[in-house]
Amino acid sequence: MTFDFPNALVTDTALSVAGLTDYIRLLLEQDEQLRQVWVTGEVSSANHHRSGLFFTLQDPEGTAGIKCVVWNSQLVKLAQIPVPGEQLIILGSIRLYPQRGEYQLSVWQALPAGEGLQALRYQQLRNRLLAEGLFDAARKRSLPRHPQTIAVVTSPTAAAWGDIQKTLRQRYPGLQVLFSPATVQGEQAPESIVKAIERVERDGRAEVLILSRGGGAVEELACFNDERVVRSLANCSIPVITGIGHQRDESLADLVADACVHTPTAAAETVVPALSELYIEHRQRVTALQEAVLNSEKTAKNQLQVLQNRLRHLRLDRQVQQEVERITWKRQQLLQATTRRSQQATQHLELLRQKLASLDPKAVLQRGYAVVRQENGAIARSAAELAVGDELLIQLGKGEVKVEVKQVNSVNSEQ
């Protein structure tokens, strides 16, 4: 069957390529859902251009793909730079490229998807807690060397609980173990772990706490990266040791704990010493102490022998005799010097006595001289001082005579 169309009709109704493209552009760009749309997929190719980054986002099965562009002004704002092979969640709007009649996604933001998104959240939380100082070494406390009561937080059905009990019984029999059960996997795990830690603190008997779980996939261990669990461990009043998983990267719970190991068994081995090891250490200390005592005794004997030998060589008895003789000679010298000084002092004293006796007024009187005193007791030294009728007291060598002046004969002083 054939159709005949009038040329005028075709000409009047036909759209130009630009008109059709513009019509499609309006349909796409004005659609409310397409103006801000989230798309998830895998980056299959990426090329940097001077105006921006161009890449293709496709389904992992390769059944569909869409071209994307991030302009340079927006590139620095992306949480994740698109790299081939990575799963991303893209936020953008649909735009039509008229020159080629192709639509593309103009990207505003790119986030990691799947494990990448978990890794981003993990890193952001880690950086925030790190800035608060929750991982600082200065906050970490030492584990008690010989705890008598230990608390364990883990699942009651997990193999970790059995491993811990077995290890503690073997290493330190008689130890008191407080079990605080918790869910350690799934959405309810963080809240369950926090409550288990709170129970231990309310009880108040435990000296150290073990938070443990056996190995598992990354998503099964996500509860140990939960902020609620991390802060509960940071605020715990007793030291905490974690034993989570096997040969894996550290969780945030490990980073905030006072100590961390890779397995539940290792946690139990770390928290208490083995009695067999303590006995060996005790025997080693006893042996070391005995050796120290023997060495000290041997050293003392050697020193005593050396001193005895020195005494024999020095002939102490002769030295004592020489010292006695020296002291005797010094004593004689001292006695002689003392006697000489005493004699000299006696002679000097006698000389002074004689001199004093010669100066004694009484001695002068004994030789026939007299002392004439006036009535007022003053010594009469000149006739000019006296007058007729004055009474005088004449002191002789023996006795006194009271007289009255009858006549005064003055004598010229120049004579």
Which domain CATH number covers 260? Answer: 3.40.50.10550
Residue 267: which domain range?
Answer: 144-273
- Mean pLDDT over 110-135 rounds to 80
Q: Would 320 be classed as within a structural domain?
A: no
Long-range Cβ contacts of 57-62 (<8 Å, 24+ apart): 57/82, 57/88, 57/90, 57/105, 60/87
344 part of a folded domain:
no
Percent residues over pLDDT 90 in the chain: 29
Highest mean pLDDT among 113-122, 238-247, 285-294, 395-404: 285-294
Q: Which of 253, 273, 293 is the last residue of a domain?
A: 273
For residues 23 and 100, membership in a common domain is answered with yes
1 assigned to some structural domain:
no
Question: What pLDDT sits at residue 260?
Answer: 92
Last residue of a domain, one of 245, 273, 301: 273
Do 223 and 109 belong together in one domain? no
> Based on the domain organization, do 96 and 164 belong to the same domain?
no
Q: Which residues contact 272 (CB under 8 A, 6 or more apart)?
A: 146, 147, 150, 168, 171, 172, 175
Do 104 and 156 belong to one domain?
Answer: no
Backbone φ and ψ for 179, nearest 5 degrees, come out as: -100, 125
CA distances from 385 to 334, 408, 415 (A): 62, 10, 17
Of all residues in the chain, the percent with pLDDT exceeding 70 is 88
Sign of CA dihedral 313, 314, 320, 326: positive
CATH code: domain of residue 39: 2.40.50.140
pLDDT for res 413: 46
Of 215, 249, 273, the one marking the end of a domain is 273
**Does 52 share its domain with 167?**
no
- Asked if 53 and 155 sit in the same domain, the reply is no
Strand order in the sheet with 208-213: 176-181, 149-154, 208-213, 240-244, 259-261
What is the pTM assigned to this prediction? 0.49
Above 60 in pLDDT, residue 92?
Answer: yes
Q: What is the per-residue pLDDT for 362?
A: 67
pLDDT, position 10? 55
Assess if residue 283 is contained within a domain. no
Query: Has residue 415 got a pLDDT over 50?
Result: no
Q: Is the pLDDT of residue 245 over 70?
A: yes
Domain membership of residue 360 (yes or no) is: no
Is the residue at 230 inside a domain?
yes
The H-assigned helical ranges of 134-263 are: 159-171, 189-203, 227-234, 252-256
Residue 195 confidence (pLDDT) above 80: yes
Q: Which among 32, 36, 90, 100 is positioned nearest to 66, based on CA atoms?
A: 90
Q: Looking at the structure, do residues 152 and 242 belong to the same domain, yes or no? A: yes
pLDDT for residue 145: 86
List the single range of 58-67, 82-91, 246-255 with lowest mean pLDDT. 246-255
Phi then psi for 336, rounded to 5 degrees?
Answer: -60, -45
Distance of CA 231 to the CA centre of its chain: 23
* 409 in a structural domain: no
**How many domains does the structure of the chain reveal?**
3
Give 34-75 pLDDT, tens digit per residue: 888 888 888 888 888 889 999 999 887 778 888 999 999 999
Is residue 87 included in any domain, yes or no? yes
At 317-370, the pLDDT tens digits run 777 788 888 899 999 999 898 988 888 888 888 888 877 776 666 666 666 677
